[in-house]
Chain A
Amino acid sequence: MKILVGLKRVVDYTVRVQVKPDGSGVATDGVKHSINPFDEIALEEALRLREQGKATEVIVVSIGAQTSMQQLDSGLAMGANRAIHVKTDRAIQPLTAARVFLKLIEQEKPDLVILGKQAIDDDANQTAQMIAALWDRPQATFASKVEVLGASLRVTREVDAGLETLDVDLPAVLSVDLRLNTPRFIKLPDIMKAKAKPRAIIDFDSLGVDSGDHLTYVSYAPPVKRQKGVMVADVPALVAALKQKGLL
């Protein structure tokens, strides 16, 4: 089995981003960037499938600026076999990302594509579903458990009502949730070993991907702040405060 994994470079989850004063965007220069946390989980799952002998090759893919190579380097150090960097300085919306993945799928013919359920910058939660639609293959989103059953997968999904289980025939697209696994840490020797791994760089414009008719991000604003409230000394004071607000 050959597995394609998406690794998006995003502002680290510990950074509290600020909207620029002129509302033209959020300030991302000079702040820490990382692999989207869900994508690390996606990669970890792919590596485990390879370690169990279920997969033979794990390819990490990132679409983005030059700097995305840092996240691919980390992915290779974690254990991916090779990396593909689709280079572009434009902000890539999910439909375009899905179209890029489809091109790579045509070239690489993977059996499984594993992505994060959402990128924590755009919070879109779309790309995996869109790839599955364009590829006309099954999707199992928000996966918290994956088992290989011959030519299909049994996937447990985290849904609002609880845990849903689906069987999907391969090839298929997965999007992973946080509880699927805990990603491994990268050790120093792994970074050295990864230096020799193949890294392909593809210019976005060379793929002939239609990136038209997208959403226009007009402006950005900080969220409405909640006012800091009152501190109460003890439980009776809490009960009194709730009664005063008509909540008890």
Chain B
Amino acid sequence: MSKVLIIAEHANGKLNASTAKCVTCAAKFSPAAIEILILGSDLDAAAAQAAALQGVTRVLSLSNPENATAIAANYAPQVVAAANGYSHIFGPSTTFGKDLMPRVAALLGVSQISDIMSVTDSHTFQRPIYAGNAIATVKAPTAQPVVATVRTASFAAVGNGASVAGIEAITVDVALPNHTRFVGLEAGGGERPDLQSAAVVISGGRALASEENFKLIYDLADKMKAGAGASRAAVDAGYAPNDMQVGQTGKIIAPGLYIAVGISGAIQHLTGIKDAGTIVAINKDSEAPIFEVADIGLVADLFVAVPELMAALG
């Protein structure tokens, strides 16, 4: 029988929604147990949130001062030590999971399945390749643990269950290397809803033409209580910070409503939004590829249309 260990992602006492999405993914093949391993230095709050998730049977809490920041070279050997006896080790396909999970897989000497988007059975999964232009069905060997990352846009977050799982503090006996040191984190985002969980996202592209003009996107986002995103071209040009990039090499998101403003719709961008509920495109070029996928398209100059939309929203 399958026994799944999910590596939790959290920050500042808050469990990241990606963890609850991994639980949903794991539940698809009805494993005998779904347990969560959480690493950090001050874990009480986040561990309690993990323990409340529906279907989670146990939470393992691995707290020590070295775990205060998620350094893959430190976390990976601890995960391996704690993961003995599990048939599956899952992490989210966020930069946290992408950094950590391949290091875990290599220490175990197994391959990793990146970006699970759907589940056939406990060892057969679908994943996107070629910027989402093809979906591959891959089978993992059954004689070794399955290490995988879960494409968070493909799964809804599981809610809280009727009962709360037990939390066990564990220790592992591994010597941590001292070759990788955390220096700092410069947070981008600010107060707007997180792109990966926002119900509405407004994104701007190269057409915004300056950092100053990007305020249009932020104003519309604030009016609609939305997250704000950007194309790579907008980020490269310095109009928006890197953590706003949506797409193959940025964030993969699945908001209920996505409004693309002055974005052409390159495949690398579209692969980041294909799970959005409704896509709206505002672009002055009626031939722009974004209109091929938009549910609602408006051919217009954004500098006219966006203020008009703001006014219409009151």
Pick from A45-53, A82-90, A104-112, A128-136 the stretch touching chain B.
A128-136
Pick from A55-63, A184-192, A201-209, A237-245 the stretch touching chain B.
A237-245
For A186-218 the 0/1 string (1 means CB < 8 A from B) is 000000000000000000000000000111111
Report which of A16, A163, A179 forms a contact with B188, defined as CB distance below 8 A: A163
Report which of B124, B131, B179 forms a contact with A218, defined as CB distance below 8 A: B124
Nearest A residue to B146 by beta-carbon distance?
A: A215
When the two chains form their complex, are residues B298 and A232 in contact, meaning their CB atoms are under 8 A apart?
Answer: yes
Q: Hey, which chain A residues are within 8 Å of B180, CB to CB?
A: 138-140, 166-169
When the two chains form their complex, are residues A162 and B296 in contact, meaning their CB atoms are under 8 A apart?
Answer: no
Report which of B185, B292, B305 forms a contact with A228, defined as CB distance below 8 A: B292
Interface residues of B in 127-184 (CB under 8 A from A): 128-141, 143-144, 177, 179-184
Q: Hey, which chain B residues are within 8 Å of A213, CB to CB?
A: 109-111, 141, 143-144
Interface residues of A in 128-184 (CB under 8 A from B): 129-134, 136-142, 144, 154, 157-169, 172, 177-179
When the two chains form their complex, are residues A141 and B181 in contact, meaning their CB atoms are under 8 A apart?
Answer: no
Report which of A177, A217, A230 forms a contact with B136, defined as CB distance below 8 A: A217
Interface residues on A, range: 35 or more
When the two chains form their complex, are residues A130 and B102 in contact, meaning their CB atoms are under 8 A apart?
Answer: yes
When the two chains form their complex, are residues B296 and A126 in contact, meaning their CB atoms are under 8 A apart?
Answer: no
Residue B198 CB within 8 A of the other chain = no
Q: Hey, which chain A residues are within 8 Å of B110, CB to CB?
A: 95, 213
When the two chains form their complex, are residues A11 and B141 in contact, meaning their CB atoms are under 8 A apart?
Answer: no
Q: Hey, which chain A residues are within 8 Å of B76, CB to CB?
A: 133
When the two chains form their complex, are residues A136 and B299 in contact, meaning their CB atoms are under 8 A apart?
Answer: no
When the two chains form their complex, are residues A126 and B137 in contact, meaning their CB atoms are under 8 A apart?
Answer: no
Q: Hey, which chain A residues are within 8 Å of B300, CB to CB?
A: 234-235
For B106-117 the 0/1 string (1 means CB < 8 A from A) is 110111111100
Cα A228 to Cα B292 in complex, Å, equals 5
Report which of A94, A118, A158 forms a contact with B112, defined as CB distance below 8 A: A94
Pick from B60-68, B211-219, B240-248 the stretch touching chain A.
B240-248
Output the least CB separation between B178 and chain A (Å). 8
Residue A65 CB within 8 A of the other chain = no
Nearest A residue to B181 by beta-carbon distance?
A: A167
Output the least CB separation between B185 and chain A (Å). 5
When the two chains form their complex, are residues A219 and B309 in contact, meaning their CB atoms are under 8 A apart?
Answer: no
When the two chains form their complex, are residues A139 and B185 in contact, meaning their CB atoms are under 8 A apart?
Answer: no
Cα A131 to Cα B105 in complex, Å, equals 11
When the two chains form their complex, are residues A168 and B179 in contact, meaning their CB atoms are under 8 A apart?
Answer: yes
Residue B293 CB within 8 A of the other chain = yes
Pick from B23-31, B39-47, B93-101 the stretch touching chain A.
B93-101
When the two chains form their complex, are residues A123 and B248 in contact, meaning their CB atoms are under 8 A apart?
Answer: yes
Interface residues on B, range: 35 or more
Cα A159 to Cα B251 in complex, Å, equals 10
Q: A160-B251, A177-B249 are in contact. Are A216 and B295 (CB under 8 A)?
A: no
Residue B196 CB within 8 A of the other chain = yes
Pick from B50-58, B81-89, B201-209, B274-282 the stretch touching chain A.
B274-282
Q: A132-B73, A136-B177 are in contact. Are A126 and B114 (CB under 8 A)?
A: yes
Q: Hey, which chain B residues are within 8 Å of A239, CB to CB?
A: 309, 312-313
Residue B48 CB within 8 A of the other chain = no
Report which of B103, B183, B187, B278 forms a contact with A165, defined as CB distance below 8 A: B183
Q: Hey, which chain B residues are within 8 Å of A238, CB to CB?
A: 280, 296, 298, 305, 309
Nearest B residue to A128 by beta-carbon distance?
A: B102
When the two chains form their complex, are residues A141 and B98 in contact, meaning their CB atoms are under 8 A apart?
Answer: yes
By CB atoms of chain A within 10 A, which of B128, B131, B189, B248 has the most?
A: B131
When the two chains form their complex, are residues A230 and B296 in contact, meaning their CB atoms are under 8 A apart?
Answer: yes
Residue B236 CB within 8 A of the other chain = yes
Residue B287 CB within 8 A of the other chain = no
Report which of A11, A129, A172, A236 forms a contact with B72, defined as CB distance below 8 A: A129
Q: A118-B249, A178-B249 are in contact. Are A226 and B179 (CB under 8 A)?
A: no
Other than A223-B133, A234-B300, A247-B200, give 10 A-B pairs with Cβ distance below 8 A: A158-B243, A160-B251, A177-B249, A178-B236, A179-B236, A223-B274, A226-B295, A229-B295, A234-B298, A242-B280
Sample of 29 A–B contacts (CB below 8 Å): A17-B130, A17-B134, A95-B106, A95-B109, A117-B249, A129-B72, A132-B73, A138-B73, A161-B187, A163-B186, A163-B188, A163-B243, A164-B182, A167-B180, A169-B179, A179-B242, A215-B111, A219-B136, A220-B137, A228-B294, A229-B279, A229-B297, A230-B295, A230-B297, A232-B296, A232-B297, A234-B298, A238-B280, A238-B298
Which 8 residue pairs are nearest across A and B when measured between Cβ atoms? A229-B295, A133-B106, A129-B102, A130-B106, A126-B102, A165-B183, A162-B188, A169-B179
Instruction: Write the residues of chain A forming the contact surface with B, with a CB cutoff of 8 angstroms.
Output: 11, 13, 16-19, 26, 93-95, 98, 117-118, 120-127, 129-134, 136-142, 144, 154, 157-169, 172, 177-179, 213-223, 226-232, 234-239, 241-242, 245, 247-248
